[in-house]
Structure 1
Amino acid sequence: MAMEIDSSLERLLQGLRAVAEGTRLRILALCAHGELTVSDLVEILGQSQPRVSRHLKLLVEGGLLERQQEGNWAYYRLAERGPVAALGRQIVDLIPDSDPEHALDLKRLEEVRAGWAVKAESYFKRNAADWDRVRALHVDEARVEAALRRLIGREPVGELLDIGTGTGRVLELLGDKVAAAIGIDRSLDMLKVARAKVFRAGLRHCQLRHADMGRLPFPAARFDGAVLHMTLHYVEDPGVALAEAARVLRPGGRLIVVDFDEHDRSELRENHAHRWLGFSEARMARLLEQAGLVAEAPERLPGEPLTVCLWTARRPANDTLTSDRTGARQTREVG
């Protein structure tokens, strides 16, 4: 017991030493507003890249910041877990907004965000035509989003996982209904757009991660809820994706799948990379059951010609499965 106490005290002292420097305190305050790269911080602080990198290394080692590698980029944000995480949040809360240096840092942060927004808008313009053509085939998105908000709002959600977050729309939509959220996607371009939107919306409790939905980088039973929004029809093996979603749900946690009902619009496969032409109620029920989830009857939103369905499924409250990170329940289904 004495050794554990000594270790905890040492980690706390390391955290205090790490933040006891002016630039590192400024970095901590900036990263409390969301995920930032070294380049972002160099631009805001006006300091060299090696110096900023050294400060970041000390803050990560001190347990105050978390580092997430995505391709060639590393993103830093305020630590969410660990014995020193609460210390970081308390220190940030003590920094007065009226402090001139801090106020200038926040102004420069807004300028960096504005640059992200310009890049996001450019990305949307290049891809909007294809998205608009698909949207025109199904029910109005406002109805789908209203239904999703209503389903999530039926009971409290502590931490939500948005699987295949794309542009981060689900985080924007549900951010006010959850205590914390993480959106994952394989596309680094999409994640850049999502980060710009999450920053603009002020969703400091939402994170973005580069990850594969077939191999989620999270421990079993971490999340209260998960969402797969208009994503599953792109997936080569839906059974694997659903099994992974089930694995990271806590017992009693909910998964909501939003996708197309079964249809015959083969041009979506040929022109828009859809792997599956929607999912019948029977097939989705089977996939969810194979993932170890108990499904409710879907909510159907008819469109012309495509119908959107919202399937809600729950991990049984008495399910104590703790599979390895690849998911022991995974089953393959083709066709």
Structure 2
Amino acid sequence: MTGPRLERLEGVVRWPIVGVAGARGVVGGVFLSIMADAGLPAERLRAFGTEVGTAPYGEGSVPVRLLDDEAAGELDVLFLATDAAISRDMVGGPGRRVPLIVDNSSAFRLDPQVPLVVPEANARALRGRAGNVVANPNCTSAAAVVVLAPIRDAFGLASVDLASYQAVSGAGRAGLDAFLAERGSDDREQAPGSPFHGRIADSVVPQIDLLGEDGWTGEERKIHAEIRKILELPDLDVAATAVRVPVKTGHSIALHLRTQRNAGLSQVEEVLRRAPGLEFRAADGSERHPMPLDVEGRDPVIVGRLRTIPGRDRGFACFLTSDNLRKGAALNAIQVAAAADPDWFGALVPPRR
């Protein structure tokens, strides 16, 4: 690998050169915020976009440039906060010169040659990877597997059913703008340019992405396939209903599952309390139930309302929420890089918020 190795000698950290493409988008801005929290010096950051300009960074700003072969050649890692088409172009073009790319789009998630990684669930998928690309999952899938993986490891998984309640920021700047415009209006019309399949303010929209002939949406198909791939359970019985809700930030999931082996409620609770990346909240009302407001700007997946399902053998239900822009996107991508090479990229993960 090119560039200096990360060293902590007498308190001195030597940093990799980090690229963020899509730096002025919603997720790109969160990447930059996390890097600033970690202490990455501005001179070690390269921000890229479709137009030149500047992007906020820490208490100042950094220049935004176009990604070309020369710029790519100096990078140690490149994070893509871009759509699938742009990601493919970058990976097939300048990205060939970058040792590690973590892509946040759907472009490579289901490619059998590309690892799809949530470190708490399948960091081992990074071992011996063939290429320089690692895929970051859908924001709903990322949160779900942080809860499902420890249950899989302890008791096995027979089936998973979920309903996701996804914040408007999951649709990027256009989604946020549509929500704010509609929330400030008195009519029932959808805002011009809205990316949603119906008015989102004061309502919910039970369709994300396009409907297939069989009635499943593209978003739901992504969740099915990604959960199976990340958990390494290709035949897992899984079904999702994806719903857009009038929440700015924070995806939530109502999760119903069946284990393969017998497990008591207290056993499942203990597994979740010990699991990395989770914050467990008791279901007896002694603690506030997981809510998007509690997780915005924070790192963990919060899980609670754990209970058994009456009449269903080995059946359990719970409710979880996570910041879709952090664990569902930027933070997970940075954690992936750190898991791929802890010595080189580990310092990019800031203290847990």
The TM-score with structure 1 as length reference comes to 0.28
**Structure number with higher relative contact order (C-alpha < 8 Å, ≥ 6 residues apart):** 2
Larger Rg, first or second structure (1 or 2)? 1
The TM-score with structure 2 as length reference comes to 0.27
